[in-house]
A and B are shown apart, each in its own frame.
Chain A
């Protein structure tokens, strides 16, 4: 079966005063029906820009995006608008993505009306159903966003995305503004929706434990490129790219390890304004060689659907997530 979403060699650049920001540099990925693809990476690696350009909020500089067989770029606005309901996005800060002057009812009724999802007389009943689905009491529908807690607001944002009966959800850091106990509620809700509705999901998070918990496959991004991609268990348990390994090592653990290892990654990620030549990770890489400075390695399969953009992957000891 062809993938629901196919991103092919996507580039996104922003002109700024100091030059050109290379936010996304040649990313290719696929998401199949009903699958959750986790996308991890540190701030500034381009993961949000990638998400935004998939839903055409940011125009890609080069490359192609296909959704359910249709190429998204160059579509007439009217055609794109017809496609939009099927590909919905939720953001990190639910307060910023809800209109403060609209009640929950208005916020949920609007997409139903605009896209004529149900006949007008049925809108109140449909709003009630949506609120049930995300676990909000129906009598909250007359309240305004400021009257809710962060977790409840995220539920409203999810209900709003679901109103259009999408096939795919792009969730950009949906729980990073929430407390642990509330985070668990929202993650459970997203997992349940993905399961029951067969929703495909692109889940973006900087939190490895969240991505590991939720995803079928995981892509790791560094400085605008995917450096490792594969089934969640093999990426987490036998990471092959030195960056993925460093990222996993840096996660604070509940039970301290007995072996005192202080082999943390030094330095900061380089600026996307001036990405280094060759492999983007070479300035911080413990196993970098002369070649790494010259040539940017492509994402190559190492078997078992696991792909790594490091020619020296066999040299670095696989060192997994040890929570």
Chain B
């Protein structure tokens, strides 16, 4: 049985301008010890889907319209605040993108790392202190004991992100949601943090949901990925299969837009237009107005995520019918470059 099973999650924002369908019928599961990647561009609902699950969505204007999210027999969307508080930060932790806004500037780093442990477990301060120090050392922070007494502003961006990871993992959670954990970091520091995350995950048999727009990061970290567009999952499957033989035009367009997929100076394959604002309802596929492979039926026929090969699903009607990618689309795509 999977550790987490989400069915038909819908999270809408009720705004002055209309109802924004930020997450519109998302279903996925997460096995124990696996890393699942969620890819997509800004506003596609990749973060909101996770926040909604943990009750972190601002309500109002947000509202969970439907769905279930079973985590070890508990429906996270139905459980009361008390139960949620016992799960959040103890059994499911989160790491956010911006390490400066996620840390309290007035609190010593050590106090912040120990806080979840002292709240969730019967544990003495000395014990918490030693666990926090050990964890910081594992994350490659030298002189961890002295560092514990310092404030966030005395840390570099990479070190702050290590502190956030330590804070999330100190209670030995079963599941970690990491939302763009390395986006604010330089590549050399990103490589260090990702390596630590991989090692800790194996050591703790942790399940991870990794949200990022960086397909390269997903490729190195995840066995399975979901690609989201306009609040829905448009493709899911084994990471290398999805990246090397995408079966949704949006996934392929994303890969083709990467400079790395082109010879220097060659025009990049950009996606025309912009993502929909998710207010106006669309009858057919949300990507159809920007899709070079769209047929008239794509604009009118509702599409669902369907399995087309073992472990590989797409919401593209033409791919489901075996018409896409056809010979006219060619076979060139980013991963082969």
Using CB atoms and an 8 Å cutoff, list the residues of chain A in contact with chain B.
42-43, 149, 151, 179-185, 187-188, 191-192, 206-210, 212-215, 232-233, 246-247, 249-256, 262, 264-266, 268-269, 323
**Is the CB–CB distance between B254 and A251 below 8 Å?**
no
Q: Beyond A42-B188, A268-B158, is A187–B268 a contact (Cβ under 8 Å)? A: yes
- A260 to chain B minimum Cβ distance, whole angstroms, is 11
**Could you say which residues of chain B place their CB within 8 Å of the CB of A188?**
267-268, 270
Per DSSP, chain B at the interface is helix
Q: Mark B212-233, 1 if CB is under 8 A from A, else 0.
A: 0111110110000000000000
**Is the CB–CB distance between B264 and A256 below 8 Å?**
no
**Could you say which residues of chain A place their CB within 8 Å of the CB of B244?**
255
**Could you say which residues of chain B place their CB within 8 Å of the CB of A262?**
195
Instruction: Indicate which residue in A149, A185, A208, A264 contacts B191 across the interface (CB closer than 8 Å).
Output: A264
**Is the CB–CB distance between B260 and A265 below 8 Å?**
no
14 intermolecular pairs with C-beta atoms under 8 Å apart: A42-B187, A181-B257, A184-B259, A184-B268, A191-B267, A213-B259, A213-B264, A214-B265, A252-B187, A253-B219, A253-B220, A254-B255, A268-B158, A323-B337
Please indicate which of the listed interface residues A208, A213, A247 has the most CB atoms of chain B within 10 Å of its own CB.
Answer: A213
Q: Is B159 an interface residue (CB 8 A)?
A: yes
Q: Is B274 an interface residue (CB 8 A)?
A: yes
Which chain B residues (222-260) contact chain A, with CB distance < 8 Å? 240, 243-244, 253-255, 257-260
Instruction: Indicate which residue in A183, A206, A232 contacts B264 across the interface (CB closer than 8 Å).
Output: A232
**Is the CB–CB distance between A255 and B335 below 8 Å?**
yes
**Could you say which residues of chain B place their CB within 8 Å of the CB of A256?**
219-220, 240
**Could you say which residues of chain B place their CB within 8 Å of the CB of A191?**
265, 267
Please indicate which of the listed interface residues A181, A191, A233 has the most CB atoms of chain B within 10 Å of its own CB.
Answer: A181
Instruction: Indicate which residue in B190, B219, B265, B270 contacts A185 across the interface (CB closer than 8 Å).
Output: B270
Q: Is B88 an interface residue (CB 8 A)?
A: no
**Is the CB–CB distance between B271 and A43 below 8 Å?**
no
**Is the CB–CB distance between A247 and B187 below 8 Å?**
yes
- A156 to chain B minimum Cβ distance, whole angstroms, is 15
**Is the CB–CB distance between B274 and A149 below 8 Å?**
yes
- A243 to chain B minimum Cβ distance, whole angstroms, is 9
**Could you say which residues of chain A place their CB within 8 Å of the CB of B259?**
184, 187, 207, 209-210, 212-214
Using CB atoms and an 8 Å cutoff, list the residues of chain B in contact with chain A.
41-42, 140, 156-159, 186-192, 194-195, 213-217, 219-220, 240, 243-244, 253-255, 257-262, 264-265, 267-271, 274, 334-335, 337
Of chain B, the residue at the smallest CB distance from A236 is B264
How far apart are the CA atoms of A255 and B216 in the complex, in Å?
Answer: 8
**Could you say which residues of chain A place their CB within 8 Å of the CB of B270?**
181-182, 184-185, 188
Of chain A, the residue at the smallest CB distance from B254 is A180
**Is the CB–CB distance between A252 and B219 below 8 Å?**
yes
Of chain A, the residue at the smallest CB distance from B221 is A252
Among all A-B residue pairs, the 5 with the closest Cβ atoms:
A252-B216, A184-B270, A323-B260, A213-B259, A181-B271
- B245 to chain A minimum Cβ distance, whole angstroms, is 12
**Is the CB–CB distance between A213 and B268 below 8 Å?**
yes
**Could you say which residues of chain B place their CB within 8 Å of the CB of A213?**
259-260, 262, 264-265, 268
**Is the CB–CB distance between B219 and A264 below 8 Å?**
no
Please indicate which of the listed interface residues A180, A265, A323 has the most CB atoms of chain B within 10 Å of its own CB.
Answer: A180
Please indicate which of the listed interface residues A179, A207, A254, A265 has the most CB atoms of chain B within 10 Å of its own CB.
Answer: A254
**Could you say which residues of chain B place their CB within 8 Å of the CB of A207?**
259
